[in-house]
């Protein structure tokens, strides 16, 4: 059974802009400062005035085209570093002595909100932004969990990232870190804007790593007895992705990951990752805090292995001049369809 | 009032080769040595034989195309590093045992002169070179001035540099170094090959920096009293640029800058700067010498800020695929017209 | 006399794949390991299983296109790092639990042999490989010689390397290392698949370097007396090259070099060099061993000078957009014809 070739090369499918995309962590932008970010090649300046809410404009001064984010914030205005032109949160241009500059066009503004320590920008038309909800990441605010924020630039199309997380048959890649794990696929659900897959695992060889014990809240000495007791659920809820682990005898997930891949360049072949990894606190809660640096190192190493492999996939795609993958796993075939149908294909763009 | 869009993208206009362009400082080229330089992608070797004047040839051995500047100088000849072929100042090729090599075409030679510590090459047809004078930089030889030679590679089209120096409304850019200065535009003159603008300034806030006091030869404690007492004149005399500052009660300029931007690559989007900044000596002349390192550091920092901003302009031009500037200042509009009319537009090249 | 311009730009002529090309040193590939190599843009994984001979496959997992060489070796199989798919020496794909994966195409395999410390791959059709012999490098196995293996990446088309070694009129390039040597061309032989040139030399000035004395087994105090006593023979036996030095009174060559240039990228403008330099042992054999580090340093420096000049040639070719060489030396003209006729020209490829 070969996958029917999709009409579009999935690695050329643009992400759909009619969503809220995280563009920076809240902690990156202090009061009275501006920050330059990108979505799919579009430069955006996000401004946090001394008072009031953040706002976002095109990060290009219409006068001389330099990035406004190189300038500074004066009251409720962002001021261009070059000639001192000032822009209000509505994009109106003022001269340095605060006269309206009619010669210069108004700057495009972007809907912009802050939630759960993330700064989101709505990349579609402003008027649509009200009807599209911000993503909800409830564990971040739940005192029973501790959350790690992480993310790096990954040099590949976002679809490689979705496929990587969704396809749990890649345990070999992490075997040096987690030992030999055998996944069992439990089933999949799908809708017009999501794909969800469930797996369970058995340890085939090797000891349970300490980091895993901390996540599950259990030390498992004999692997076989604990085979297939946990359920891992991975869901692409377009355009975001989530992964949670539930284990027998614990009502709430022991781990809950929310992750977004935000295209940086116009070709969307470089993505910035925003990940929030929430781990349920143990009965003796400070143990998790004590072990936190260990968990950080462990997850960082797993993520580094994933990043290396998806960047190799991207490089192969580049060299081969297109997608030659021979996909056979129905979950990944469904996921690809989802990403193509919800994204913007080159031909239809 | 919007600027009527010029028929040509100013950032694609090539510099006019029928001028003397500095390509190196005299001190860079010792006796018995050769140096490889560039003008708009054209590699040139300048040779200073053990005796006699310098000369310039195409920096490409016609035999195997390697740069002659990688070789050495033998008497009045430059010798290729690879097979030892020798070239005379007239471009004639000789074998290593000094037989004329008829098989190889004569190398193109370039008119080349040295003046005021600069090596100039005439980049147009040789026969035109006699009728075009070398630029005159008189302060360099005047004992009442001390001159600083400076220059770096700047990664932008030369027009950004001309505009940067001519448009004194960009005081915001340097406010951390010079405090808050308010420019007043005094007027402009223009001809077929020049644009000249005059400004005066008032200090709005902050103390006069020591470096400025050294240049003006005056310590100015209360800014307001000294407002609008100096005149800064900036002139683009195609293809060069000059800036001088005159102050009340001093007959000669307190500062006189001559500057040239020499395209390195074929697209002329990288320029080497040759600047000569002459500062009038104070009554107690050694004070200027003592304070020289301070002045060097000050001017270097101002220049670094300018370089950063023009390179950001170039990058924006690249990304936007063309010139989208919304220019409103008549001086800059006149300057652009000058650069287009005196340069070589892509379509007419 | 100008060289009749060849119908094809020699720098675009592809190397003929119907030969055995070295792709790695044997010592680079330990038992139970895999290595990723390249020939003209084609990624190849060479596998040395725990038992049995080496084998070579396309270095691309057909499932997700990642290089198999990033994975590991399990028994007689190479295992993909991502999902653990295994490939046999025949290119057959197996799942991690050793079921045949019919969904995935068989991997292309390449004829692969090991000889004289080199791993060779036959880059033409497998069925031709039997009729094409491996190159013979007899001195490597001869106890009267000591052999140095060397090689680096050189960023130029392989033809520049062939020309560089064959044209002994480039003594100027090495004059700082070997003194002033005058070559005398003795003659040339050619056939459909080879060109051979012979030279002899006289020292014009400078002292014989110690390294040369070690190679010739003679200390030569007065250069003139030893003029034209040695014969250097350089042969391009397509696609390899060899250089040997014979001297009066010694029956076998005092030096014998075998060298191959293996294109790495698709455009064949980057080559990996595999060189085997055999030097005849002196009567007191351990002297050569003692002096070996000196010889290594000497040959390395000569090679560095050659590498710099051929990379300059390549850069000039790139900038000029084609071959503008004015070749007059019949040996090089014959060599160029050989490389064009035995290679694959762009138009016929």
CB contact under 8 A, B172 and A96: yes
Residue C39 near residue C123, CB atoms below 8 Å: yes
Q: Confirm or reject CATH 2.40.50.100 for domain C31-131, answering yes or no.
A: no
Mean pLDDT of A10-29: 97
Residues 6 or more apart in contact with residue C318 via CB below 8 angstroms: none
Which residue from C65, C79, C105 is facing A316, i.e. has the nearest CB?
C65
Instruction: Using pLDDT thresholds of 50, 70 and 90, give the confidence band for residue A349.
Output: very low
Nearest CA in chain C to A305: C82
Instruction: Using pLDDT thresholds of 50, 70 and 90, give the confidence band for residue C1.
Output: very low
d(CA A104, CA C191): 74
State whether residue B248 sits within 8 Å of chain A by CB: no
Residue B78 near residue C340, CB atoms below 8 Å: no
State whether residue B4 sits within 8 Å of chain A by CB: no
Instruction: Kindly report the three-state secondary structure assignment for every residue of chain C.
Output: CCCCCCCCCHHHCECCCCCEEEEEEHHHCCCCEEEEEEECCEEEEEEECCCCCCEEEECCCCCCCCCHHHCEEECCEEECCCCCCEECCCCCEECCCCCECCCCCCCCEECEEEECCEEEEECCCHHHHHHCCCCCCHHHHCCCEEEEEECCEECCCHHHHHHHHHCCCCHHHHHHHHCEEEEEEEEEEEECCEEEEEEEEEEEECCCCHHHHHHHCCCCCCHHHHCCCEEEEEEEECCEEEEEEEECCCCCCCEEEEEEEEECCCCCCCEEEEEEEEEECCCCCHHHHHHHHHHHHHHHHHHHHHHHHHHHHHHHHHHHCCCCCCCCCHHHHHHHHHHHHHCECCCCC
**Any idea which of B6-10, B335-339, C21-25, C243-247 has the lowest mean pLDDT?**
B6-10
Asked whether the predicted pLDDT for residue C275 surpasses 60, the reply is: yes
Interface test with A, best of B159, B170, B178 (most A CBs within 10 A): B170
Interface test with C, best of A2, A170, A183 (most C CBs within 10 A): A170
- Residue C180 is predicted with a pLDDT of 87
Distances (CA, A) of C110 to C49, C124, C280: 16, 9, 36
Q: How many contacts, defined by CB atoms under 8 Å, are there between B and C? A: 50
Domain ranges of chain C: 31-131, 138-342
**Any idea which of A109-123, A188-202, C278-292 has the lowest mean pLDDT?**
C278-292
Nearest CA in chain C to B101: C328
Which residue from B169, B317, B320 is facing A83, i.e. has the nearest CB?
B169
Residues of chain A found within 8 Å of residue C104, distances taken between Cβ atoms: 326, 328
Beta-carbon neighbour count of residue C260 at 10 Å? Answer: 26
Q: How far is B65 from chain C (nearest CA, A)?
A: 6
Mean pLDDT of A16-40: 98
Q: Which tokens hold the place of B181?
A: 């200065």
pLDDT tens string C166-198: 999 999 999 999 888 889 999 999 999 999 999
Residues of chain C found within 8 Å of residue B60, distances taken between Cβ atoms: 316
State whether residue B250 sits within 8 Å of chain C by CB: no
pLDDT tens string A130-162: 999 999 998 999 999 999 999 999 999 999 999
CATH of domain B138-342: 3.90.380.10
B31-131 shares its CATH topology with B138-342: no
- Residue B223 is predicted with a pLDDT of 54
Out of 2.102.10.10, 2.70.98.30, 3.40.50.10490, 3.30.2290.10, the CATH code matching A29-131 is 2.102.10.10
Mean pLDDT of B337-341: 96
Main-chain dihedrals φ then ψ at residue C318, nearest 5 degrees: -60, -50
State whether residue C322 sits within 8 Å of chain A by CB: no
- Residue C135 is predicted with a pLDDT of 96
Instruction: Using pLDDT thresholds of 50, 70 and 90, give the confidence band for residue B165.
Output: very high
Average pLDDT of chain B is 92
Which residue from C171, C173, C326 is facing B104, i.e. has the nearest CB?
C326
Instruction: Give partners of B (≥3 CB pairs < 8 A).
Output: A, C
Chain C from 7 to 66: CB within 8 A of any A CB: 41, 60, 62-66
In chain C, % of residues over pLDDT 90: 77
Mean pLDDT of A289-318: 95
Nearest CA in chain B to A67: B312
- Residue B327 is predicted with a pLDDT of 92
Interface test with C, best of B82, B96, B108 (most C CBs within 10 A): B82
- Residue C349 is predicted with a pLDDT of 40
Q: How many contacts, defined by CB atoms under 8 Å, are there between A and B? A: 50
Asked whether the predicted pLDDT for residue B349 surpasses 60, the reply is: no
d(CA B81, CA B69): 8
Which residue from C172, C316, C320 is facing B81, i.e. has the nearest CB?
C172
Chain C from 274 to 313: CB within 8 A of any B CB: 309, 312-313
Instruction: Give the DSSP H/E element, type plus range, for residue A153.
Output: strand A153-154
In chain B, % of residues over pLDDT 90: 77
Residue B2 near residue B329, CB atoms below 8 Å: no
Residues of chain C found within 8 Å of residue B70, distances taken between Cβ atoms: 309, 312
Instruction: Using pLDDT thresholds of 50, 70 and 90, give the confidence band for residue A186.
Output: very high
CB contact under 8 A, C66 and A316: yes
- Residue B13 is predicted with a pLDDT of 96
CB contact under 8 A, C63 and A325: yes
Asked whether the predicted pLDDT for residue A7 surpasses 80, the reply is: no
Instruction: Give the DSSP H/E element, type plus range, for residue A291.
Output: helix A286-320
In chain A, % of residues over pLDDT 90: 77
Residue C252 near residue C144, CB atoms below 8 Å: yes
- Residue C2 is predicted with a pLDDT of 45
Nearest CA in chain A to C79: A172
DSSP state of A308: H
């Amino acid at each position: 059974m070969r996958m029917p070739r999709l009409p579009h090369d999935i690695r050329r499918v643009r992400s759909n802009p009619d969503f809220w995309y995280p563009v920076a962590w809240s902690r990156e932008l202090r009061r009275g400062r501006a920050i330059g970010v990108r979505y799919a090649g579009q430069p955006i300046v996000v401004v946090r005035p001394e008072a009031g809410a953040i706002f976002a404009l095109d990060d290009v001064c219409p006068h001389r085209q330099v990035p406004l984010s190189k300038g500074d914030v004066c009251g409720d205005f962002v001021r261009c570093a070059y000639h001192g032109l000032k822009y209000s949160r509505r994009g109106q241009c003022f001269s340095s002595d605060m006269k309206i500059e009619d010669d210069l066009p108004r700057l495009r503004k972007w809907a912009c909100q802050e939630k759960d320590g993330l700064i989101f920008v709505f990349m579609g038309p402003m008027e649509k932004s009200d009807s599209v909800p911000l993503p909800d990441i409830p564990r971040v605010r739940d005192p029973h969990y501790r959350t790690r924020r992480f993310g790096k630039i990954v040099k590949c199309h976002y679809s490689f990232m979705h496929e990587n997380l969704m396809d749990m048959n890649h345990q070999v890649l992490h075997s040096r870190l987690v030992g030999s794990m055998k996944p069992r696929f439990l089933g999949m659900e799908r809708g017009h804007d999501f794909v969800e897959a469930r797996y369970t695992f058995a340890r085939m060889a090797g000891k349970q790593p300490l980091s895993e014990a901390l996540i599950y809240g259990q030390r498992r000495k004999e692997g076989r007895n604990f085979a297939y007791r946990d359920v891992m659920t991975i869901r692409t809820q377009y355009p975001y992705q989530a992964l949670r682990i539930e284990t027998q005898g614990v009502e709430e997930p022991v781990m809950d990951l929310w992750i977004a891949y935000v295209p940086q360049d116009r070709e969307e072949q470089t993505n910035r990752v925003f990940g929030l990894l929430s781990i349920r606190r143990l009965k003796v809660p400070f143990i998790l805090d004590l072990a936190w640096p260990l968990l950080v190192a462990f997850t960082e190493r797993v993520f580094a292995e994933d990043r290396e492999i998806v960047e190799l996939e991207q490089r192969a795609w580049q060299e081969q001049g297109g997608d030659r993958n021979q996909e056979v796993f129905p979950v990944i075939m469904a996921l690809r369809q989802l990403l193509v149908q919800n994204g913007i294909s080159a031909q239809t763009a």
